[in-house]
Amino acid sequence: MADPTKDTYGRIARFYDTLLEPVNAPLRAIGWKLHPTNSSMTVLDVGCGTGAHLEAYVDSGAECFGLDASPAMLEQAAARLGDRAQLELGDATALPHKDASFDFVFTSLFLHELGNSVRKTALSEMARVVKPDGRVLIIDYYVGSMRAKGYLARSVSMVAERIAGRDHFRNWRPFLRSGGIATMAPKAGISIESEKVVAGGNLALWILRKP
């Protein structure tokens, strides 16, 4: 279980968007095109961080929930979203939601940070809480062939993962070696419906559903 007293994002939460929005904003736009939401939908962002992605779904009128293990990141999300989304401190490996609660479950740049067995549990939890006809969107590192732009982006990512801390780097490498989302998601009970590779092969967006 994640321990909120050891907030690894405590020091960077205030600067997170300044650093990451140049990467996150285009990813968000692609994710939105792949799976837009509307006011009849329920949405959960797992590892929602500062809530920048969640805001796009809030703006669509969907009923939105965000969960994160970092009090500091959630503080940023609360400042951004106020009461427009229900934000919760929690652990992705034990989601506090009933089975089949959400039309759309979303997670971005989160799963690679976890150890392999924790990641599998988090994926299974997402599969559990999405409705039978709902969809999951995952944005994360891609494991496959890269173009020159991808190698450059991957080198920058490598530095960022090292700066982010020992655990990040320790978990990121086995994530890549294990085959990433394409290999792990089906083992956690959720099937890939589509895959969109971006950033020269450094990242991808997957739409998934229950088999």
Distance CA 107, CA 109 (A): 7
Between 25 and 147, CB nearer to ligand SAM: 25
Q: Per CB under 6 A, does 109 bind ligand SAM?
A: yes
Q: Per CB under 6 A, does 91 bind ligand SAM?
A: yes
Q: Directed axis angle between helix 52-59 and helix 71-81, to 10°?
A: 30
Q: Per CB under 6 A, does 128 bind ligand SAM?
A: no
Sign of CA dihedral 102, 103, 107, 108: negative
Between 53 and 135, CB nearer to ligand SAM: 53
- Enumerate residues 31-70 that contact ligand SAM by CB under 6 A: 47-49, 53, 67-70
Between 19 and 183, CB nearer to ligand SAM: 19
Q: How far is the CB of 128 from ligand SAM (least distance, A)?
A: 15
Q: How far is the CB of 27 from ligand SAM (least distance, A)?
A: 8
Q: Where are the beta strands (DSSP E) in 9-51?
A: 42-46
Q: How far is the CB of 136 from ligand SAM (least distance, A)?
A: 14
Distance CA 92, CA 125 (A): 7
Pick from 99, 120, 96, 126: nearest CA to 179: 120
How many helices (H) and strands (E) the chain has is answered by 7, 7
Between 103 and 113, CB nearer to ligand SAM: 113
Distance CA 87, CA 2 (A): 16
Binding site for ligand SAM (CB under 6 A): 2, 9, 20, 24, 47-49, 53, 67-70, 73, 91-93, 108-110, 113
